């Protein structure tokens, strides 16, 4: 059904007969990108179906990108910037799709809640920004070690500055501690 919806704008333009070749080519390219994102969305849903069902991973398809959100506890121990074995295993499930991508940015984005870094970790990670960036870099290094093209990878740390929930409750803080893997066509 989605493929039919994506093809309708092209069919309408072709029937109208009033479009330039350049406009037609742009529409075809946009449709091809949308179909490719749809295929990647379906593949990632299959690969991460257990985690999606357990509400540990969320996959959203937006108009020009896919966003795969991992709750931090599935990847990292509290205060740690190194993925634990279960986290590596979870990310590994997405590697076949990510490694097969060409012409895509794969942006790994780290986020934290607003709670200050504890005294034991402050020497290594003075701020939440440092911790979120270190976590994103650790995921990027892992993806590269598993065969994902490093030319497609970007790591970014956002600290507590882009919350998706309130930091006033434990549940909200838990939602804010996350890693997003964003796939976008270059």
Q: What pLDDT sits at residue 63?
A: 84
Reported as a single tens digit per residue, the pLDDT across 19-49 is 788 887 777 677 777 888 899 999 999 999 9
d(CA 179, CA 100): 21
Contact 50, 153 (CB under 8 A): no
Per-residue pLDDT of 123-144, as tens digits, reads 999 999 999 999 999 999 999 9
Percent of the chain with pLDDT over 90: 71
Query: Is the pLDDT at 173 greater than 70, yes or no?
Result: yes
Q: Give just the sign of the alpha carbon dihedral 2, 153, 105, 107.
A: positive
Element containing residue 60 per DSSP (H, E): strand 57-61
Instruction: Let me know the angle formed at the C-alpha of 91 by 88 and 95, rounded to the nearest 5 degrees.
Output: 120
What length does the chain have? Answer: 186
CA distance 143 to 98: 8
Q: Are strands 65-71 and 104-111 parallel, antiparallel or unpaired?
A: unpaired
Higher pLDDT, 51 or 6: 51
pTM, two decimals, is 0.84
Q: CA-to-CA distance for 89 and 100, rounded, in angstroms?
A: 18
pLDDT for residue 114 is more than 90: yes
Domain boundaries, the chain: 55-185
Distance from chain centroid for Cα 46: 16
Asked if 70 and 64 count as a contact pair (C-beta separation under 8 A), the reply is no
Tell me which of 3.40.190.10, 3.40.50.10800, 3.30.1330.60, 3.30.43.10 is the CATH number of domain 55-185: 3.30.1330.60
């Amino acid at each position: 059904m989605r493929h039919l919806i994506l093809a309708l704008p092209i069919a309408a333009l072709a029937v109208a007969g009033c479009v330039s070749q350049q406009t037609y080519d742009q529409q075809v390219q946009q449709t091809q990108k949308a179909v490719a994102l749809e295929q990647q969305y379906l593949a990632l849903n299959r690969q991460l179906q257990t985690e999606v069902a357990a509400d540990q991973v969320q996959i959203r398809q937006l108009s020009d990108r896919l966003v795969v959100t991992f709750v931090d506890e599935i990847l990292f121990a509290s205060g740690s910037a190194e993925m634990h074995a279960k986290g590596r295993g979870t990310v590994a499930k997405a590697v076949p799709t990510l490694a097969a991508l060409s012409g895509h940015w794969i942006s790994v984005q780290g986020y934290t809640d607003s709670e200050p870094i504890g005294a034991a970790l402050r020497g290594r990670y003075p701020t939440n920004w440092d911790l979120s960036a270190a976590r994103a870099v650790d995921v990027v290094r892992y993806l590269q070690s598993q065969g994902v093209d490093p030319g497609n990878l970007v790591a970014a740390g956002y600290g507590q500055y882009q919350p998706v929930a309130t930091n006033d409750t434990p549940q909200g803080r838990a939602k804010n501690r996350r890693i997003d893997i964003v796939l976008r066509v270059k």
